[in-house]
Amino acid sequence: MNRKDVLKYEIIIYWSTAYQHFIAEVPELSGCMADGATYEDTIDNVQVVMSEWIETAQEKGWDIPEPKGKLMYA
């Protein structure tokens, strides 16, 4: 999976008052999240973590979910 495909996963970004950082979560990649002092840093950081998540999954033979795009939450 290349970097272009990694960018197809939904990313949820929010401000954490407790940590005074932005937090980015990737719901389709279990446990995949990153933080940053700025919104831009957070996007850069989460892209790196997503790539590493997928690389690790490939090395371990884990299933890698296909990006579904926008997810719906209740």
Q: How far is CA 57 from the centre of its chain?
A: 14
Residues 2, 31: Cα–Cα separation, whole Å: 20
pLDDT for the residue 68: 87
Give me the residue label for tokens 């371990």.
Answer: 60
Q: Do 50 and 9 touch, CB atoms closer than 8 A?
A: yes
pTM of the model: 0.85
Residues of the chain where predicted confidence (pLDDT) is lower than 70: 1-5, 72-74
Give me the residue label for tokens 């490939």.
Answer: 58
pLDDT for the residue 74: 45
Domains of the chain: 3-60 (3.30.160.250)
Question: What sign has the CA pseudo-torsion 43, 44, 49, 55?
Answer: positive
pLDDT for the residue 73: 59
